[in-house]
Each structure stands twice: as structure tokens, then as C-alpha cells.
Amino acid sequence: MMKIQTQSCVVKGKYDVAVVEQEVEYQGTGTLVKITRGGICGSDLHYYQEGKVGSFQVRQPMVLGHEVIGEVVASDTARLAVGQKVALNPSKPCGLCKYCLANQQNQCTHMRFFGSAMYFPHVDGAFTQYKVVDSAQCIAFDADRDEKVMVFAEPLAVAIHAAKQPGEVNGKRVFVSGVGPIGCLLVAALKALGASEIVCADLSPRCLDIAREMGASICMHASNDDFSRYQQEKGYFDIAFEVSGHPLSLLRCLEVTRAKGTVVQVGMGGSFPDFPLMLLIAKELNLLGSFRFVEEFDIAVAWLSDGTINPLPLLSAEFNNQQLEQALAFAGDKRLAAKVQLVF
Ligand SMILES: [Zn+2]
Ligand SMILES: [Zn+2]
């Protein structure tokens, strides 16, 4: 057995975070990983700013983070040699429920996802220096790859999963409403998958600039620009992706998608009391949800590894793991930051 000290980034409640010393025990099962870098995600920010995500309240100190990479220190499988670089898939499905058996692991009824207060005791995240994980959660990549790039595997997996929800996007006209990090990665994924025209909208000119760099054909200001041309003849786009979680953004998606087209809801939002049911009915639209990912994590690692997608326009800043609070404060200022990374 191996015992190692590790510095972990924990959240205890609203605006209450700390870097604490913890002990990791490795007993020879699974893989012990030395975490090298992590990306701060929207859910980490919710835990920091609100002490909760949706109805999942932080009730005990919980390690944050689910977008990380690292290198193998010890493993129970020969596939993972010491020093092997790995991206960590934060999903640990049960493997036994009806969804797992149907290869729909993102719907697992007993999913243990890094850094989630859904269960009590909470499932710790991976913003720590050493962590023991299931060996199946370790996706290997070549040592010469840029770590700044490879940390985007998890959010890119979310984007690829969303891009695949409506079926074939090759040759299709698509609309992306909301281009934060997931929206921009979705733009890049749709481009890689052959979408013929990618129009996006956002309230932030800075986000629109990044979307343009990542492959958008046309970038529109969500409130200042005129979308009427996209609403003519019952809509222009074959597929629209809502990635902001805002009701007005979903309304726009329903308006600009052609009859018989598909709207994919990716952004997490609250309620929509005046949902325009008649638009959905009369245009015979398909409305789909998209949540996390399954095999898309491996695809994301491959696409980052071979340069299919360059996520670096999204990287706003890097901080040392000791600077957790500064990093979260900076990442929370959406006027300045897209993706912020922690170095361990
Ligand atoms: Zn994330
Ligand atoms: Zn399951």
C-alpha cells in the first residue's frame, strides 16, 4: 500500500474555498494518477458562487473539478505504464443499470461523476495533486501533446455529444445560440463534422470573436442584430443548438429553425413559463436534450491529439493550484474569462 500527501482544492460553501492537505491511499486497485492540469467549468463556479448546483447543495467539504489530465504513477493494468499521460474521464457509471447495459452510460442511475454534491457523502472531484481512479477512466495520449490543449477533453466531449444528438450534421445549416466555452467547442465540432453553415449568436462580442476563430461562418449580436431573415419561410436552419440556458435564446432557436427541423437544448437553465408550444407544434419541430457524453470522451481526446480541433482561443488564463480563489474569481468574471486552467 502507498500513502501520499496531496493538496486538494475544496469548496465548503458559498464563497468558501480552501486548498487543504489530504492523504491518498493506493492499495493496488485502479490507477493512481498525478494530476498536472485542470480546467474550471461552470459547475465549479456554481459551487463557488452559490454553494450549490441546481438543487445539489454542498453539505461537507468537497474537492472541486472534473476537467483534468495527469500522468500514471501506478496502475493495475499493463495498458497504463508508469509516466503514461492520461486524460481523466470524470464519469464512473455503475455498469449494471438498464442504461449502462444499453450503452447509455450518461443516463446511469448510479453515476458517480467527479465533483458532484448529488450524493451524500459527495463525490470528490479531481482538483488535487494525486487521485486514485478506475483504470477505465484513464484515456492515454502521447507525451508530446500540449497539456493546455488536452485539458479540453471533457468539455469537448460534451460538445461532440450535443453535435451528435440530431443525427447527421454534414451539409446542414446550423445555428448555435450562446458561445461560451461549450458553445465555441460545439462550433468547432460542427465544423469538423461538416456542417455547411454555422451561424452563432451571443451577447458578448468577446465570445463571438472566439467563436469566429473556432469556425463560425457568421457571428451575430443576440440583441442588437436583426434575425428576421432567418425567420422567413418558417425558419432557415436545419438544426439549432441552445447553449446559454436562457428562455429567450431557446425561443430564438425555435423561431429560426425550419419546419421539421431539430432544436437541441444543451444549456442548463431554469424554468420557461411561457414556452411557445404552438411554435413546436405547428412547425413540427424536434426538441432534444443533451447531457454529458458517453464514447465522445475518447473521440475528444483523439480530436485534440491529432489537431482536428484547436481549443486554445478559449484559454484565458492559467493559475497555480494554490491560487484557487483568484482563479475562481477570475473565471467567474464572464467579461474577461472563457476557460481558466489550474496547474498542479
Ligand atoms: Zn465541465
Ligand atoms: Zn448504470
Q: Which of 139, 2, 117, 140 is closest to 63 using CA atoms?
A: 117
| The model's pTM | 0.97
Ligand nearest to the CA of 181: 1
Residue 181: phi and psi, rounded to 5, are: -55, -45
For residue 93, whether the previous peptide bond is cis, meaning omega lies within 30 degrees of 0, is no
Ligand nearest to the CA of 268: 1
Q: Which of 87, 79, 77, 80 is closest to 147 using CA atoms?
A: 87
**CA–centroid distance, residue 55 to ligand 1 (Å):** 18
99 Cβ neighbours under 8 A, 6+ residues apart: 93, 105, 106, 107, 108, 109
- Report the distance separating Cα 168 and Cα 20, nearest Å: 47
**CA–centroid distance, residue 103 to ligand 2 (Å):** 9
Cell 437553465 belongs to: 269
185 Cβ neighbours under 8 A, 6+ residues apart: 152, 155, 156, 158, 159, 214, 309, 311, 314
Residues of the chain with pLDDT under 50: none
Q: What was the pLDDT predicted at 269?
A: 81
Cell 467539504 belongs to: 61
User: DSSP string of 294-311?
Assistant: STHHHHHHHHHHTTS---
Q: Which of 115, 159, 107, 155 is closest to 133 using CA atoms?
A: 115
Q: What was the pLDDT predicted at 77?
A: 97
**CA–centroid distance, residue 95 to ligand 2 (Å):** 5
**CA–centroid distance, residue 97 to ligand 1 (Å):** 24
**CA–centroid distance, residue 106 to ligand 2 (Å):** 8
Q: What is the pLDDT of residues 239-285, one digit of tens each?
A: 999 999 999 999 999 999 999 999 999 998 878 888 999 999 999 99
**CA–centroid distance, residue 103 to ligand 1 (Å):** 21
